[in-house]
Structure formats: C-alpha cells, structure tokens
Amino acid sequence: MQEPVGIPACYPTTITRSGQSVFMSVFRTKIADQCHLITITWCKNLLLNGLSVSISGPEGETTQQYTCKVEFKPWYFGRKQGSKHFIIDGNKAVNVFWDLKAAKFNGETEPSSEYYVAVVYNEEVILLVGDLKKDAYRKTGCRPALIDPILVSRKEHVFGKRKFCTRIKLDEKSKFHEISIEYKNKDEPEMEIRIDEHLVLHVKHLQWKFRGNESLHVDKASVEVYWDVHDWLFCPGLRHALFIFKPIPPLLTQKGSSGSLERVNPGTVKHMKDNMYIDMKGSIIVIVTKWGFQSSCYTWASMEW
C-alpha cells in the first residue's frame, strides 16, 4: 500500500511519533489564469498550535512549493493575527492574512469558529477559510475572486486508541458528520464504521474481507465506501489501511441489476493506491497507520491495538 500523503516539509517527519495532530485541506484555485493547489495545514501538540499555507507550482506541479508557516502557543496572544507575503512563479506576489485571536478550537486541531485565513493575489481574495468573512475582506481591503476555489481533499492525522473518530463534510453544502472506524476482536477481527453514531457498516472475518467496497446512504445521499486493511492486519511495523468515502452525485448514480448502486469489483480495490480505478475528486480519504501497538489515521489517525 502507498505511503500516506506527506506532511508539509515545514513540519518534521517525526510528528507521528511525538503525539502531534495534523489536519490538511487542499484547494484548487487560479492564480494569474493558472491552476494552483493551496494546502491549509493545522497542527497541534501539547505545547504549540501551528498553521501552514502552502501553494504548489502551476498546474499542481509538485516540484515547486511555496510555504508560509505560523506557530503560536494557545495561551499566548502573539502571532495569532498577522500577515505574510511571498513570491511564487518568479514574479507573483501572494499575501496570507490570518486572525486567530478568538478562534475556538474546542479541543480539535482545526478551529471551528471565530477565525479566518485569507490568501490574496492581485487584490482578490482567492481563498478564504473560517467564518469571519466580513472581517477578512475589511482587513485585506480586497474583493472576492470571481472563481470560487474547489475543495480537493481533507486529510487528518490524530492519535487515539482502538477507535478513530473525525468530523467531515461529504460536500460543501452538507452539515458535518461524525465518522468513527473501530477495530474489534483481535483473534477474529471485525471492523465497524458508524456515521452520526449509527452503525452503517459491519465487516466480520476481516482477515478474509480485508479489501472491499459498500454503498451507503447518508441523509438520502449515496456514498461509496472503499477499504483496504491488508497491511494493517498482516504486515508488522509502520503500515497503513486506506478508507475512501466517495459521495455519488444523484445524476451519476447508476442502478445495477439488483436495483442497488453498481459497485466497483472488489478485486480492483487493491489498485486504489495507483488511482487507476477511482475518480478521487470529491472523496474523503482516511489512511490508518499501524505502528507497533499504535496506529496512525490519515481523511489522514493513530490508534492503539
């Protein structure tokens, strides 16, 4: 199975060993008529919170990356509001503004309210996250961009026990849903997935059904869930399990002969790491990393067995 999507270079690779949680959101937007990926990364450990804004080269080119990094102590006022600028593609000036003075984290890595992070180019706010939108436009003195950014993916890396929980949106217009993935019965392994505390998937004999997919319904919407836990179960050391939650647009829903959603052949799920069979657009990716008697989960978590 593939390695998880990497943590930005501005953070040490040892964070999975130091109990640090990371939450990443990747957006696609345009800068000077060229597509770029902008990654907003939040991190948290016992002492520090951190914010990183990274911009890829044109057309998602991964060889070029420009990063603005901010670290602050939860109990210390400094650096919770400010701005930075950097040059991308040789001559394009980009500014990042943030206000986290009153941000409410509620114990999570990513703030839930009372904050903003804005990315500005050519007097346009090309990306804005947070709920203080009016404050952001007033502070930057810039107008909204004509083209809205597209959320490409969200990835989370947290530490826990046997059970991994996270909050996700299946699309931009829906409410947040609580998703939990739990491993049970080490001798006869089973896996349970719950959404908003409702059991939606129970896989018994996981040692034989370590790869598969299933159609679910959440708020009358169809969601295809794929999993690959082979390395989780059978490989020692730092190994990963992959979960993909893919919303199915109503117009694209196809009925199989049984009247249910047609499913991808489970035999193809092993190729998920190559992105050969699954259109990843709009998907929520969860990679759960087994690490000795701990595991790490990567939407992106760490669980003890």
Reported as a single tens digit per residue, the pLDDT across 93-134 is 999 999 998 988 887 788 889 999 999 999 999 999 999 999
Same domain for 215 and 188? yes
Q: What is the pLDDT of residues 142-187, one digit of tens each?
A: 999 988 998 887 777 665 557 777 777 766 666 778 888 888 887 8
Same domain for 130 and 34? yes
Q: What is the mean pLDDT of the chain?
A: 73
pTM confidence score: 0.67
Q: Is 60 exceeded by the pLDDT of residue 34? A: yes
- Answer yes or no: is 13 within a domain: no
Same domain for 163 and 129? no
Q: Decide which of 118, 152, 186 is a domain's last residue.
A: 152
Q: Is 60 exceeded by the pLDDT of residue 238? A: no
Same domain for 251 and 200? yes
The model's confidence at residue 4, banded by pLDDT at 50, 70 and 90, is: very low
Number of neighbours of residue 234 by Cβ within 10 angstroms? 10
For residue 239, what pLDDT is reported?
Answer: 61
Same domain for 129 and 50? yes
Same domain for 263 and 199? yes
Q: How far apart are alpha carbons 163 and 154 in whole angstroms?
A: 19
Same domain for 94 and 47? yes
Of 23-32, 120-129, 237-246, which gets the smallest average pLDDT?
A: 237-246
Q: How far apart are alpha carbons 133 and 148 in whole angstroms?
A: 14
- Tally of structural domains, the chain: 2
Of 157, 165, 155, 153, the residue nearest 194 (C-alpha): 165
Residues with Cβ within 8 Å of 148's Cβ and at least 6 positions away in sequence, in order, are: none
Same domain for 135 and 30? yes
Percent of the chain with pLDDT over 70: 65
Q: Is 60 exceeded by the pLDDT of residue 255? A: no
For residue 230, what pLDDT is reported?
Answer: 85
Q: Decide which of 152, 183, 202 is a domain's last residue.
A: 152
Same domain for 165 and 48? no
Bin 113: left if φ > 0, else alpha if -120 < ψ < 50, else beta. beta
- Answer yes or no: is 305 within a domain: no
Q: Decide which of 131, 152, 173 is a domain's last residue.
A: 152
- Answer yes or no: is 52 within a domain: yes
**193 DSSP assignment:** E
Number of neighbours of residue 241 by Cβ within 10 angstroms? 25
**Amino acid identity, residue 238?**
L
Same domain for 189 and 83? no
- Answer yes or no: is 7 within a domain: no
- Answer yes or no: is 2 within a domain: no
For residue 188, what pLDDT is reported?
Answer: 87
For residue 202, what pLDDT is reported?
Answer: 94
Residue 166 structural domain: 158-297
- Answer yes or no: is 187 within a domain: yes
- Answer yes or no: is 302 within a domain: no
Same domain for 175 and 119? no
- Answer yes or no: is 1 within a domain: no
Same domain for 168 and 136? no
R_g of the chain computed on alpha carbons: 20
The model's confidence at residue 219, banded by pLDDT at 50, 70 and 90, is: confident
Cβ burial 93-114 (10 Å sphere, 16+ → b, else e):
ebbbbbbbeebebeebbbbeeb
Looking at per-residue pLDDT, the higher value among 235 and 258 belongs to 235
